[in-house]
Structure 1
Amino acid sequence: MTSTGRVLLAATPLGRTEDASQRLRDALATVPVIAAEDTRRLRRLCADLGVIPTGRVLSFYDANETSRVPQLIEHLLDGSDVLVVSDAGMPSVSDPGYRLVVAAVEADVPVTVLPGPSAVLTALAVSGLPVDRFCFEGFLPRKAGERRRAVEALVGEMRTLVFFETPHRLADALADLADAFGGDRRAAVCRELTKTHEEIRRGTLDELRASVAADAPRGEITLVVAGAVAGGPARSSDELAAAVAELETAGESRKDAIADVARRVGVPKRQVFDAVVAAKGRDGAH
């Protein structure tokens, strides 16, 4: 009986080719099928490494990932290994690869990893923020309303948060994060990790927001944000509404009071708003 091939998920350098592992070099030179996010960048990487691929190189990017998977599964079932490489870092982490892994698992095809660089772990390590517990959120939504809702859903998250972001959306992302989490939440903007122009900006969300407005960074960006602090007022609906009422009595607008309570307690503003509406409904019924 012919054995199947293996899916080899290979981490590629974030910037410096010296970070390429020997296992990656060997695989690029010998594996019969290479699925590459960008075939031109793969050719450049191979040239920089002094490696000549002997296998068939296939494009494997967001737009063709779904249609390409059946072809790659055929190669695997015929006994050929398939090497998967993205532009930088680990395939399937906000890059193509996940759908192939799922299909391979369903087909009982082995999946393994050639470990190496990871923007997520690199940014965490240099951020100066807690790394014992973290969650990776990938790219925030492009549309403003969807992005704000996604950020609000993370207000109570106590683990350190890691995002990928583009230079032209970074200012808006920092503004939405500051609005939802509070401007004093610690964060780090990590730019061009491991590359010649690597830059780490650390500070509060408000400080980073001002920094980016004055000097917008370019290149690949990983954003690390501290998690919510445990504790604070109790989070029952009645207590949330009472906290808002107290701030309103002190002169704050309802909108500002809801935002302040949400930040203080570490819950989405929508949850506080709903608590206020519910309390108002009960009061009106009496």
Structure 2
Amino acid sequence: MTRIWYSIVFLIFTASCSGDIDRVISTDLLVEGNEIFGISLALEESLFYSFQTLDDYRKADTLSLPGCPNVMINESEKTVTLEFLSQRECPSRGSLPKTGKIHIKYLTSTNVLESTTRLEYEDYEVRGFKLEGFRDFKQIRSIVNPNRRTETFEDILIINKTGSSTRLKGSFEHNLVFTLGNLAEFTTSGSLEGRNITGRPITMQPNTTKRFETKCIYEGLILPSVGSETWQIFRNETQAVTHKLDFEKESDCSNKATITLHDGRIMVFRQ
């Protein structure tokens, strides 16, 4: 299995810096850029699994799913457990190394037009990031937009290799596109807030919607082909540094993420 790798390209920063905040950030920005990319990757990597129905999983097998997990279904509780094993070789050319379990619970509701899918992590780790918590995806069965999902989570913990953690809550909207009954692509847009690995407040706001192609996800390649976000990390109650994360398509299923740091330097990530 291949690993996500990144290259950091340093540009000449021509704009002048001013104010106290600029004198204390020089050693933090690259770390913050890596954290931002890690957050984005960790949260988006498992989205696909939440959009599959219980019947989809009944028809699936290990090799038919991204990451090649074992599939266990509890019919009485309407719960699917995906178990990822580190020693398993997966044919997906870009498949990320991952271990642990994802539980997908199809929650019942008194409203027949509303359903909720809950995605919950158990000892789940992807590319060195461990995730804890759960995410709820709500579907309203309406004629206007039957393929829309609204996502909320209140307490997701992302723990890096050194044991430092990012704690987040978020709200997102996802729109699914089907071709001949199969999920072909989905778009996502939403906001995050919480605290980063140093304990500082962190926020994310979307600039443009992100788009994911499921044919690429099946190959283990999960970076979106388009999209843009603005991230802020606060140094105190009123002062923050701003970083921009952009995604773009380079070739078929070969996408890149570019982070423009507060001081103008650029970090480029590819899968």
Larger Rg: 1
Could you say which structure has the higher strand fraction? 2
TM-score, length basis structure 1: 0.24
Could you say which structure has the higher helix fraction? 1
